[in-house]
Structure 1
Amino acid sequence: MSGIERLGLRVSSMINHPVAQIQRWVTIHRLDTDGDREWEEVIGVIADTDELELTLNDDGSVTVRWEQQELETAGKGVPEFDLEEEAAPF
């Protein structure tokens, strides 16, 4: 596994963590094993993602924030129920 894959997997895991999903933010710390090129590339991908907001912290970490996304269920195969009662067939 390459360094970029390892870092991408770690960042993805942090963002998808249940606590991060509830609070809608996570702080990512750069490890000694994260190379300059890998760090810049992963942070660049995050920065280019419209739904994410980055804050560069004084200690070199990056805080990623996002807004709660509304679920769009119309037309997504979710069954719609007719709430009108039908006459009993007997």
Structure 2
Amino acid sequence: MAKTQAALSVRQEMSGMERLGLRVSSMINHPVAQAQRWVTIHRLDADGDREWEEVLGVIADTDELELTLNDDGSVTVRWEQQEVEAAGRGEVEFGPEEEPVPF
């Protein structure tokens, strides 16, 4: 029983990159952002330079996402609704509204 209690008391801290990636992913996947197909992300004081640049790099390298740097230091991410060809019918359908982000 002592081992169980000790295992529960040890917590794994998230890295700055994991925390920022989770926050950005959550913002992009939010129903309001999905409906309007854009979101503005503000850098928090807790976001390190390296982590912020890495996340912006991942967003910029993703073909489906358009990144705009704003004067106040925030970034606006925009995307278009994805068209998907229906299997075997040659018809075009719109993909699901909520698609996971790459991080």
Shorter chain as denominator, the TM-score bin is 0.7 to 0.9
Map of 2:101 onto structure 1: none
Larger Rg: 1
1-structure distance, mates of 2:87, 2:25: 28
2-structure distance, mates of 1:47, 1:34: 18
- Stretches of 4+ aligned residues off by more than 6 angstroms: none
After superposition, what is the alpha-carbon deviation per residue over 1:4-62, rounded to whole angstroms, capped at 9, x for unaligned? 00000000000000000000000000000000000000000000001100100000000
How many residues are treated as equivalent by the alignment? Answer: 75
TM-score (norm 1): 0.80
The CA RMSD over aligned residues, in Å, is 0.9
Identical aligned residues as a percent: 92
Map of 1:26 onto structure 2: 39
User: How far is 1:70 from its partner?
Assistant: 1.5
Gaps of 5+ in 2: 1-13, 89-103
TM-score (norm 2): 0.70
